Structure 1
Amino acid sequence: MQYRRLGSSGLQLSALSFGAWVTFGNQVGRGAAREMIAAAWDHGVNFFDNAEGYSNGEAEKVMGDVLADLRLPRDGWCVSSKVFFGSAVDPRPTQKGLSRKHVHDACHAALKRLRVDYLDLYFCHRPDPQTPIAETVWAMDTLIRQGKVLYWGTSEWSAEEIREAHRVAQAHNLVAPTMEQPQYNLLDRQRVEVEYAPLYADYGMGTTIFSPLASGLLTGKYNDGIPADSRLAQDGYEWLQRNLRGDRIEKLRAYSALAAELGVAPGTLAIAWCLRNPHVSTVMLGASRLSQLLQNFEALEVSQRFDDATWQRIAASAA
């Protein structure tokens, strides 16, 4: 396993990490979750990602139970949660968003579900137009000073919103955000590569990128339709089906053909491509089966396999 600093911080995360979005508490039960977390640990993964909104908190309960059951040394791994969407099925106003109250309450609820005394990373899962950014920065600073959180960050915030958080922190001598968790893959590049570009130099921002496979589109499984047992066939994922428009399907087929030419599984190649970006602190993996996860780990070797010209061909095939 490779390890990378989380931006300019001293925290070193595994280049590949393991997250619970969609799968834990839904497609994946405790038995399969235990098997995959154990395998991830054995392969050097030291960061496990979660959120209050994943399966209404059930994903955190599953992960917390597994981590406790495995008895892994607490100083050897990091765990995260995210706040914004709430864990209630139909959240009331104080049960969601980024108000000081919900940031506080959600943190303590996550600690209980994950069965830990502190969160290594705590993300604002989305920007909250109903709450001043200054209020959220103060709330995060308080949790850090209380020892409940070590590093805080954002997810899917605009560059200007992140800058505002830094301005508030600097003006009041508060702890500024360390990292951002954006979507990043061969099909979604603009924010990480263009919009955030000045933030890496200005603030030493780290990124814990998610959806390196574009929700499975880059695995090739949807090139000829939507399999009945796939994520896109589940209720609630109609929004992902909209990504399968005609021009995108052609790009996906071209990309899969190039992966076959190179002798690499399309999904593995997509993860390897993300690893090539020096501003990516860690690539978040998600899997519903152990075999998927083990194949994903091959991306570390694949990321070193080809020359720059080949990587440019790979990027161009999906552009």
Structure 2
Amino acid sequence: MESESMEYRYLGRSGLKVSVLSFGNMTSGWGDGTEQWNFECVDKCIRRGVNFFDTAEFYGLGIAETVLGRNFKQGGYDRDDLIITTKLAPSGFGIQGLSRKRIRQAIDHSLERMQLDYVDVLYLHRFDPEVPLEESIRIINEIIESDKAFYWGTSAFTPQQISECFAICEKHGWIPPIVEQCEYHMFERGIVERDYVPLFDQYGLGTTVWSPMCGGLLSGRYNDGNIPAGRLESSPFTALFRQWYDKHIGSRKEAAIKTLTGLKALADELGCSQAQLALSWVIKNPDVSTAIMGASASHHLDDNLGAVDVMKKLTPEVLARIEDLLGNRPAPSMHWRTFTPNPPRR
């Protein structure tokens, strides 16, 4: 069911309309009480118009899928109103990678864990260099033909790998991918704003972007350049967060503090939170189909959902001020007939 307070966009060149904000349960299943907490998040999202829910077999090695499936059963929601996706990984589930054998088994296991007959989108969760891409795409198409999935996509594939997917599908008359799931936020821009642009233009590729607030670094809680006490404790994602922090703040602390405090001042002027500003900036990009949210506290989720309204305040003048603060607009590609830079994508 659509909500007037939510914006919806088509996912690539498909007929799927997805909420511009979506919910991912990557952190579900890592401790006691997470199932009820996840249900509260799912229920709140659905009541606010979110219809896109993302998970993966790798999250909690299947536990996150189980939790999400139980959440849907608990809420008794209309399956037709929901867009549910999962991702199959090349590692962590034995030696078979993304082979025909493993994908055939994996989709059945995922559907069983989620208590579903089908998923709307099935992703290849990273490129598998040890399995011919043609083999993986062939079985994905068979899964779609058997109605266990309706569409498929890639996650963290390079532009060259995605182009190869389209070439293989064109050669064999197979269903091509409609979406790429990639990292995109104020600190990480090149792949969406430069590298994938030919794919957007040629194939109408959609994007379901993850970590739109860079693991929370853009939320306002790190504006002094330091990591709050306890942030690196008892988390399976400590290494990933530390990598983000070292790259975007730790290695350039003085400049990062200036950028973050500048964003906070601008958010105050707009009457929103810094987290809402960062998230609304992501979904302002028309090449973003949906931004996948996470939450560690209820009020964080409430705040994130308000980003749709804040997006309306991002006038060209405000966007220009953000560019001045970030100072990291990707160098545009060249128009080789005129030898002039192509205009910025945003």
Q: Bin the TM-score by the shorter chain.
A: over 0.9
1:230 matched residue in structure 2: 231
The two structures have a TM-score, normalised by structure 2, of 0.86
Cα drift, residue 85 of structure 1: 4.7
Q: Separation in 1 of the partners of 2:177 and 2:132?
A: 15
Greater gyration radius: 2
Q: Which runs of 5+ in 2 are unaligned?
A: 1-5, 329-346
- 2:218 partner SS: helix
**Deviation per residue, 1:205-259 (Å, 9 max, x gap):** 1111111000111012123321233367735523422233242533333333433
2:83 paired residue number? 78
Query: In the alignment, does 2:149 pair up with 1:127?
Result: no
8 A Cα contact 1:159 1:199, kept in partner? yes
For 1:114-161, what per-residue CA distance to the aligned partner results, in whole angstroms no more than 9, with x for missing partners? 110001011111111111111111011110011111010001101110
**Alignment CA distance shift 1:67-1:226 (3 Å):** same
Q: TM-score scaled to structure 1, two decimals?
A: 0.93
**Would you say the 8 A contact 1:52–1:85 is kept in 2?**
no
User: 2:217, 2:323 → 1: CA distance?
Assistant: 15
Q: Is the 8 A contact 1:232 1:238 kept in 2?
A: no
Residue matched to 1:44: 49
Match of 2:53, SS state, is: strand
Letter in 2 for 1:227: P
One-letter code aligned to 2:218: L
The residue identity in structure 2 corresponding to 1:9 is S
- AA in 1 matched with 2:100: R
Q: Matches of 2:146 and 2:116 in 1, distance apart?
A: 15
- Select which of 243, 256, 264 maps to 2:264: 256
* Cross-structure match for 1:175: 175
CA contact (8 A) 2:267 2:277 kept: yes
C-alpha contact (below 8 Å) 1:223/1:252 kept by paired residues: yes
TM-aligned CA distance change 1:5 to 1:226, over 3 Å: same
- After TM superposition, the structure 1 = structure 2 runs for residues 180-195 of structure 1, keeping only pairs within 5 Å, are 180-195=180-195
* Structure-2 residue corresponding to 1:206: 206
| Deviation by residue 1:281-307 (Cα, 9 ceiling, x = unmatched) | 111111122211111011000000132
Residue 34 of structure 1 corresponds to which residue in structure 2?
39
- What is the CA–CA distance in structure 2 between the aligned matches of 1:134 and 1:290, rounded to whole Å? 43
Corresponding position of 2:146: 146
Tell me the distance in 1 between the aligned counterparts of 2:186 and 2:94. 37
**Deviation at residue 260 of structure 1 after TM alignment:** 3.2
Deviates more, 1:56-65 or 1:97-106: 97-106
Match of 1:221 in 2: 221
Amino acid at match of 2:213: L
- The 1:128/1:186 distance shift into structure 2, 3 A limit, reads same
CA distance in 1, matches of 2:78, 2:110: 19
SS of residue in 2 equivalent to 1:69: helix
Q: State percent identity of aligned pairs.
A: 35
How far apart, in 1, do the equivalents of 2:109 and 2:300 lie? 31
Are 1:24 and 2:25 an aligned pair? no
- How has the CA–CA distance of structure 1 residues 228 and 101 changed in structure 2, closer, same or farther, with 3 Å as cutoff? farther
Equivalences, count: 313
1:57 aligned to 2:62?
yes
> SS where residue 17 of structure 1 aligns?
strand
